[in-house]
């Protein structure tokens, strides 16, 4: 080998090897860089297109009347009426789901972080992960099968939807709260024990208080995730055109279900020269409601992140 490299021929070959291989490698590198930037741009296309479409189609329908009236007694192409009943239903049902999910989720997170050892903790961790993947419609079917046993086959009321949403929300709350509780430094707990504070008081007064900003963020993001769920509410809560504030009695309308119902109504038939008739009013309603729903979801997301940024404790 060593004799070969001394010949001018071999030197030339080595040089050729080095210089010709290099452009190919550099080209591959550049192509992959372009592809990877391209993947990101590609993902932004649907996001921008979707937000723009919703804003463009929905903004025209938003008015005070749209936000403060229900659809009671509104038929065909009548352009009056609004989404008040759906907004109220969404807030009530999601509120009940939060009331159920947050205590359970927080306690499970405390169990996993502060006490969890042994096979029970391992299986809880595993099944919380598995629960994250339950299809939303299956959660709705579960709520229906549970409540129809007690209240008869026709039972549909807000709390059923809240239970279905809780099945979807609890694992999300557990996951995010667990992450937040793990961030609390052990020194704080040990300092508290050293002062003779019992463990439960340490958890409530030291661990939870230190992580309250992160916990709030986690809960808000979990609410944002379930507030747009449609399928479980469609099967468990039903639909109505009237305002219903009582989660324990009667069907309720929610924003996502309202969007779906208005969309599936299609075009209204208008007679020639009929004044108060807009053929595609149902579709306009759907877009207006979609804009409202997206605004609520985005608000929850932004507030959640801001809470974490503003109120997070400065540990160092």
Q: Which of residues 6-65 bind another protein (CB under 8 A)?
A: 25-26, 28-29, 32-33, 35-40, 42-44, 46-47, 49-50, 53-54, 57
Cβ closest to another protein, residue 4 vs residue 305: 305
Token couple for 224: 């944002």
User: Is residue 284 at the binding interface for another protein, with CB under 8 A as the rule?
Assistant: no
Binding characters for another protein, 130-169, by CB under 8 A (x = yes): xxxxxxxxxx-xx-xxx--x---x-------------x--
| CA distance linking residue 85 with residue 72, whole number of Å | 9
- Select from 4, 12, 65, 129 the one that contacts another protein (CB under 8 A): 129
Residues numbered 54-113 forming contacts with another protein, rule: CB under 8 A:
54, 57, 104, 107-108, 110-112
Q: Are 254 and 291 in contact (CB under 8 A)?
A: no
CB of 85 to another protein, least distance (A): 17
Q: Residues 6 or more apart from 81 whose CB is under 8 A from it?
A: 69, 70, 71, 72, 74, 285
**How many residues belong to the site for another protein (CB under 8 A)?**
90
- Select from 78, 114, 179, 280 the one that contacts another protein (CB under 8 A): 114
| CA distance linking residue 181 with residue 215, whole number of Å | 8
| CA distance linking residue 182 with residue 110, whole number of Å | 10
User: Is residue 282 at the binding interface for another protein, with CB under 8 A as the rule?
Assistant: no
| CA distance linking residue 125 with residue 114, whole number of Å | 13
Cβ closest to another protein, residue 69 vs residue 263: 263
- Select from 123, 242, 269, 274 the one that contacts another protein (CB under 8 A): 123
- Select from 76, 208, 301, 303 the one that contacts another protein (CB under 8 A): 301
- Select from 162, 227, 252, 307 the one that contacts another protein (CB under 8 A): 227
Please give the DSSP secondary-structure letter assigned to residue 269. P
Q: Residues 6 or more apart from 56 whose CB is under 8 A from it?
A: none
Element (H, E) at 115: none
C-beta neighbour count of 106 within 10 angstroms: 19
CB of 129 to another protein, least distance (A): 5
User: Is residue 286 at the binding interface for another protein, with CB under 8 A as the rule?
Assistant: yes
User: Is residue 184 at the binding interface for another protein, with CB under 8 A as the rule?
Assistant: no
Q: Are 254 and 233 in contact (CB under 8 A)?
A: yes
Sole window of 62-70, 183-191, 274-282, 285-293 interacting with another protein (rule: CB under 8 A): 285-293
| CA distance linking residue 61 with residue 79, whole number of Å | 10
Token couple for 230: 């449609």
């Amino acid at each position: 080998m060593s004799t070969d490299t001394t010949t001018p021929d071999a030197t030339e070959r080595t040089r050729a090897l080095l210089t010709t291989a290099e452009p190919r490698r550099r080209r591959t590198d550049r192509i992959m860089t372009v592809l990877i930037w391209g993947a990101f741009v590609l993902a932004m296309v649907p996001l921008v297109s979707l937000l723009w479409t919703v804003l463009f189609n929905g903004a025209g329908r938003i008015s005070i009347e749209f936000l403060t009236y229900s659809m009671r007694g509104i038929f065909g192409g009548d352009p009056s009426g609004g989404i008040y009943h759906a907004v109220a239903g969404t807030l009530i049902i999601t509120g009940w789901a939060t009331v159920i999910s947050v205590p359970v989720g927080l306690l499970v997170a405390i169990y996993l972080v502060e006490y969890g050892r042994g096979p029970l903790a391992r299986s809880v961790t595993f099944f919380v992960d598995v629960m994250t993947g339950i299809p939303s419609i299956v959660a709705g079917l579960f709520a229906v099968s549970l409540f129809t046993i007690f209240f008869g086959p026709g039972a549909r009321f807000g709390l059923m939807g809240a239970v279905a949403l809780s099945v979807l929300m609890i694992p999300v709350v557990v996951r995010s709260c667990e992450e937040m509780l793990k961030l609390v430094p052990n020194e704080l707990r040990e300092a508290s024990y050293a002062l003779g504070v019992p463990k439960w008081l340490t958890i409530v007064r030291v661990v939870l208080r230190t992580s309250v900003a992160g916990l709030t963020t986690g809960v808000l993001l979990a609410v944002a995730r379930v507030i747009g769920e449609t399928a479980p509410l469609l099967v468990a809560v039903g639909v109505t055109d009237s305002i219903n504030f009582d989660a324990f009695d009667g069907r309720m309308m929610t924003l996502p279900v309202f969007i779906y119902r208005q969309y599936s109504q299609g075009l209204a038939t208008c007679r020639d020269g009929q004044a108060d008739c807009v053929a595609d009013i149902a579709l306009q309603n759907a877009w207006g409601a979609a804009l409202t729903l997206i605004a609520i979801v985005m608000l929850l997301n932004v507030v959640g992140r801001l809470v974490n940024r503003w109120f997070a404790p400065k540990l160092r």
